[in-house]
Chains A and B, each alone.
Chain A
Amino acid sequence: GAGVSQSPSNKVTEKGKDVELRCDPISGHTALYWYRQRLGQGLEFLIYFQGNSAPDKSGLPSDRFSAERTGESVSTLTIQRTQQEDSAVYLCASRPTSGPSTDTQYFGPGTRLTVL
């Protein structure tokens, strides 16, 4: 079946502009995560969605970052007034919450964001 997809694959923007990143999880995966990977760093957790529950936003670095997800479908991560330090690869992962692989997160290819 199809894996996690993300779009765009690359995004170059100017400082101060808003950007929106999209994630399509694997069908049927109720859990969805966003992570950020800055150059030379590990992945940093940003936000977690589980079905219709309130999202865990504890990893969002500032109020310029927000994310939405409708039900168990697509999620969008929005960064307002981008700064150069926002340059990173933004990764999305989804996880089933029933069946044999509930412990495994499946990652998308990421969106490489460059803020000039």
Chain B
Amino acid sequence: AQSVSQHNHHVILSEAASLELGCNYSYGGTVNLFWYVQYPGQHLQLLLKYFSGDPLVKGIKGFEAEFIKSKFSFNLRKPSVQWSDTAEYFCAVNGGSQGNLIFGKGTKLSVKP
């Protein structure tokens, strides 16, 4: 069965620090990969996604993620975080032909002003 691992439960950074959140998945076939973000009190929103092509994908708010097939990874990065990036971040993989997503447990990011 497919699974997604997010190794960091809670990350605390100061503003302007660089961010990298790890995501690893287990699946041997073609995958579609997603990062969702949930800001405090808000809905889950799509941050970025990878389906095919350039393994470096850019999303909203300056976020990017790199798909490394050999490492089964899809890490999320941002060169300089802001206080407004405080949120919970979820990595997800497409779980089947119907498109249901398999999510990691999430990483809570706290950015200190």
Count of chain A residues near B, Cβ 8 A: 26
CB proximity to B under 8 Å, residues A1-40: 3-4, 31, 33, 35, 40
Is A84 an interface residue when CB atoms closer than 8 A count as contact?
no
B43 touches A43 (CB 8 A): no
A-B contact count (CB 8 A): 55
C-alpha gap A3/B92 in the complex (Å): 21
Is B102 an interface residue when CB atoms closer than 8 A count as contact?
yes
Q: Which residue of B lies closest to A108 (CB)?
A: B43
Q: Which of B49, B51, B99 has the most CB of A within 10 A?
A: B99
C-alpha gap A42/B6 in the complex (Å): 10
A3 touches B100 (CB 8 A): no
C-alpha gap A33/B92 in the complex (Å): 15
B49 touches A105 (CB 8 A): no
**Which residue of B99, B102, B104, B106 contacts A105 across the interface (Cβ within 8 Å)?**
B99
**Which residues of chain B come closer than 8 Å to A41, judged between CB atoms?**
105
Chain B residues near A (Cβ < 8 Å) = 4, 6, 32, 36, 42-46, 49, 51, 90, 92, 95, 98-106
